[in-house]
Structure 1
Amino acid sequence: MRKYAIVLFLSALLSFSGKTMAQQDTTLAQKISREFCEEFSKKDFARFSGSEMEIGLIILPIVLKYKNEIEKEWKLSPDNEEDFEKIGERVGAEAALTCPKFQEFIRSNLSEITAMDEDKELKSVSGTLQRIEENFFQVLTVKTKSGKEERLWWFQFFEGSEELLDNPNKLLKKNIKIKYTEMEVYDPKLKDYRKIKVIRGLEKE
């Protein structure tokens, strides 16, 4: 499994609102993630670095075990690298919601894991900072000159974050420019994937 597929395993965590979601184990993703969780919980993964291959070796035989069901229900083939990453997204999304040991692993290594994604193309948005929401992670809402509101997620350290750490409210109603990358996450409410904007840099204008 490529390292990027491991990153996709984290997608559902980003949609957490701090509420527990009770679900019955009825879907294919839930079935696979349950077995993944059982095997993952037997290991002692303290750090992400050096664990990527071993995590891949845990999920690979489980995915192959359900290969026929995956191809039938999801129309994806584990033999195809791109499809395998999509399978990783679905299973990882469920595991991030339901597997305590996997959740603990993610929280302990979030900065290192998300840093792997920094090679994505940076984009930017300028406007007035309207509000800062505090849920599982903080979300900044910026209103552009056209009147559109953009929501941007604060997951890790970024250049300019010290402006918010000292006094988050001092930038409210101020003009700012935020650099970001897009990340695809699983939204349990929509039961589908959506893209969010992850903050990589902030500066006052």
Structure 2
Amino acid sequence: MKITVLSLFCFFLTQLAFAQTTTPGPAEIKITDSICNCISRVDMSKIQNKKEAYAVFTDCFTQHSALLIEVAEERKISISDDAEMNKLGTEIGTNLLKQNCSAALKLGMKMSDDKSGEATESSTQGVVKRIDLKGFNYIVITENGAEKSFLWLRQFTGSEEWMNGTAKLIGKKVKITWQEIEVYLPQAKGYYKVKEITAITIL
């Protein structure tokens, strides 16, 4: 499952209200309803900034990320096909808007609030070793012999290079700019801090 699905989903949630989509099938309706219901259970008054809004969305999407596989099968899409999975992500986001999920719309407003506090960014340099698929994509690099993993959650500066196939980037030296966020990991059944990618530069 490609992280770019989530990236474009966020983009459409906060930016677009009208887009051409195909008629959603049962699995696609199920994931849209599930995410909407999850967001609807959140007390929006307690979300104070953009970071917290993204965390809520990430939690809800992660809880139902397995449904993306069902949607991909329904659409006869390979989960390794970046372009098609990106398109699917945008359509799921658009479905939330078109079904008038008020909670998602409110959350989208908070996610696009540039006045909210932002996380502090850091950077790490190393050589790309592999891409781990653990519900979302994790880019793994080696730095001084040690492996470090970074979460590809949303669209970031330089992501276009990675959307067109990652095999050619293995072994490349890169600089990864990241921010630490707290997300819910279903497999671990808890909240954990991860390093989310905000930019990648090939050196």
TM-score w.r.t. structure 2 length? 0.50
TM-score w.r.t. structure 1 length? 0.49
Which structure has the larger Rg?
Answer: 1
